Structure 1
C-alpha cells in the first residue's frame, strides 16, 4: 500500500501518541522487525527491540514527555515526519523542548523499514543540564 497524505498523518499522529502515552512497545511496533534507525548519524539501531529500548529510555528520563506532530510529507513509500518533543528531565527537573524530523522508508504494510532522524543534540544536552 502507498500512503496518501491523510494516511501518513494518521501514522505520524499514532506514533506521537505512543510516545506521549509512554508505550515503548507501540513505538517499536511502528517499525518492521529488522528495521534500521539512525539518529544524528550515530550508531544504527537494527531491530524493534533496540528501538523499543531507546524509546523506553527516553520515557524513563521524561515521565511527562509529550511528542507533537509538526508536519508530514509523503511521496510513494517515503515520508518525512517532523516533531517537537517536550518534557521535564527526571534527574535534573529541567524543562526540555526540542524539534527534529525523521525520514521514513515504508514497506507495503506501512511499517518503517529505515528511519534517518535528526535533532540538535548539543541544544538537547544543554537543556537537560540547564545551562
Structure 2
C-alpha cells in the first residue's frame, strides 16, 4: 500500500518522539505484535517484549539519548527512516554522535512488521571509549 509523504513524515515524527520519551514501550508500540528488528545483522529482537528490551538497552547505554530524524522515504510499504542520535555513554561519559537508518516494512495500519537497523558499530565503540 502506498503511503503519502505526509503520512510517512507523521510516522517518523511519532517514532522519533517515542525514542526521545525514554519510555521503551512507546517505541515498541509503533511495531505490529509479531514485528522484529535486526540491528547490524545481529540477533533479532521480536515481539513487543523483545522490542521493549532492545529500546531499554539503548537507553541504558546512552541515558541522555536524543534522536533526530534525518529523513524518511517510502516505496509502497517499504520505508527508509534515517536518523542521528547524540548523547553520552553511560559507562565512560564520552559524547556520542551516531547516524544510521532503519529499513521498515509496514502493514495496512502503518505498524512496522519488520525492521533492519544499521549504524557503524566500530565508530560507536571508538566514540564510547574516547
Place the TM-score, normalised by the shorter chain, in its bin.
over 0.9
Instruction: Report deviation, 1:3.
Output: 2.0
Look up the match of 2:25.
25
Distance 1:3 1:48 in 2: 24
Correspondences of 1:10-89 after superposition (within 5 Å)? 10-89=10-89
Q: Which residue of 2 aligns with 1:94?
A: 94
Gapped runs of 5+ residues in structure 1?
none
Task: Give me the whole-angstrom Cα distance separating, in 2, the residues matched to 1:84 and 1:94.
Answer: 17
- Aligned equivalents of 1:122 and 1:29: distance in 2? 29
Q: CA deviation at 1:118?
A: 0.6
SS at match of 1:43: coil
Task: Provide the C-alpha distance between the structure 2 equivalents of 1:19 and 1:48, rounded to a whole number of angstroms.
Answer: 15
SS at match of 1:116: strand
Residue ranges of structure 2 left out of the alignment (5+ in a row): none
TM superposition score normalised by structure 1: 0.94
The whole-number CA distance in structure 2 between the counterparts of 1:33 and 1:46 is 9
CA distance in 2, matches of 1:45, 1:57: 11
TM-score by length of 2: 0.95
- Length, aligned pairs only: 130
2:129 maps to what in 1?
Answer: 129
The two structures, once aligned, show a CA RMSD in angstroms of: 1.1
Structure 1 CA distance for aligned equivalents of residues 107 and 6 of structure 2: 17
Q: Which has the higher mean CA deviation after the structures are superposed, 101-110 or 53-62?
A: 53-62
